[in-house]
Chain A
Amino acid sequence: DTAVSQTPKYLVTQMGNDKSIKCEQNLGHDTMYWYKQDSKKFLKIMFSYNNKELIINETVPNRFSPKSPDKAHLNLHINSLELGDSAVYFCASSQDGSASYEQYFGPGTRLTVT
């Protein structure tokens, strides 16, 4: 069984469109994250939710809006997509939000904005 799943795996869209990426974890974890792999291949935290509550909100354009309907799901909605949004986005989860536990990553969503 997949522990952390993301859909879609690939997303190609045009500038100006609105799109969503979905993430689900079946590990019973309390905390979920969104990361962006930037052009230099670094993983940068975007958002973190603990039990549906927003914990981390990094300096991310407000076109990006996370939504956590329950603690097993954390979706990422992006409005008015721009060329610079092209990247690989990873969802992750951990047992709690203390950083004392490892994070489990999803397979990534490769977003291409044309």
Chain B
Amino acid sequence: ILNVEQSPQSLHVQEGDSTNFTCSFPSSNFYALHWYRWETAKSPEALFVMTLNGDEKKKGQISATLNTKEGYSYLYIKGSQPEDSATYLCAFKWRGAAGNKLTFGGGTRVLVKP
């Protein structure tokens, strides 16, 4: 069983502050890591797909890094705004997995307080 763990499960951030959180995954047979942003009452939206060790991706004030050798990815939010409040999901694809199976973590729920 592949475990994808995200920590913390939830965090509160003051508007304007920066924050980061972690996705941990098995370090062997890595294929791809996805990050999704999931607002309440909506559906998950893709942020990044990362495939290479050392990858860094950025979208606006959100960025992500990837370390496949040690099995973790960080997501950073710089200068958090209330609209950044959402659950952030990571999903891992193992090279041995059938087809395109992604295993999702439980998410980090971010609440940005004005």
CB within 8 Å of B: which residues of A? Answer: 4, 31, 40-45, 48, 50, 55-56, 58, 90, 94, 96-108
In angstroms, Cα B100 to Cα A102, docked, is 11
Asked if B43 and A41 make an inter-chain contact with CB atoms under 8 angstroms apart, the answer reads: no
Q: Which of B44, B48, B103 counts the most chain A CB atoms within 10 A?
A: B44
In angstroms, Cα B82 to Cα A15, docked, is 41
In angstroms, Cα B98 to Cα A93, docked, is 17
Residues of B within 8 A of A50 (CB): 99-100
Query: Which listed residue, A98, A104, A106, touches B46 by the CB 8 Å rule?
Result: A104
Asked if B100 and A106 make an inter-chain contact with CB atoms under 8 angstroms apart, the answer reads: no
In angstroms, Cα B103 to Cα A99, docked, is 11
Least CB distance, A33 to chain B, in whole angstroms: 8
Say which size band chain B's interface belongs to: 20 to 34
Residues of B within 8 A of A100 (CB): 32, 49, 51
Given the interface pairs A40-B106, A104-B46, the reply to whether A99 lies near B100 with Cβ below 8 Å is yes
Residues of A within 8 A of B88 (CB): none
Least CB distance, A48 to chain B, in whole angstroms: 6
Least CB distance, B20 to chain A, in whole angstroms: 21
Given the interface pairs A99-B93, A100-B49, the reply to whether A105 lies near B102 with Cβ below 8 Å is no
In angstroms, Cα B103 to Cα A58, docked, is 12
Q: Which of A90, A98, A106 counts the most chain B CB atoms within 10 A?
A: A98
Q: Residue of B at shortest CB range from A4?
A: B43
Q: Is B104 an interface residue (CB 8 A)?
A: yes
Given the interface pairs A41-B106, A105-B44, the reply to whether A48 lies near B100 with Cβ below 8 Å is yes
Instruction: Given contact pairs A99-B102, A107-B43, enumerate 12 new A-B contacts (beta carbons under 8 Å).
Output: A31-B100, A41-B107, A44-B104, A45-B101, A45-B102, A56-B99, A99-B32, A99-B93, A100-B49, A100-B51, A102-B48, A106-B43
Asked if B34 and A108 make an inter-chain contact with CB atoms under 8 angstroms apart, the answer reads: no
Asked if B107 and A101 make an inter-chain contact with CB atoms under 8 angstroms apart, the answer reads: no
Residues of A within 8 A of B102 (CB): 45, 99, 103
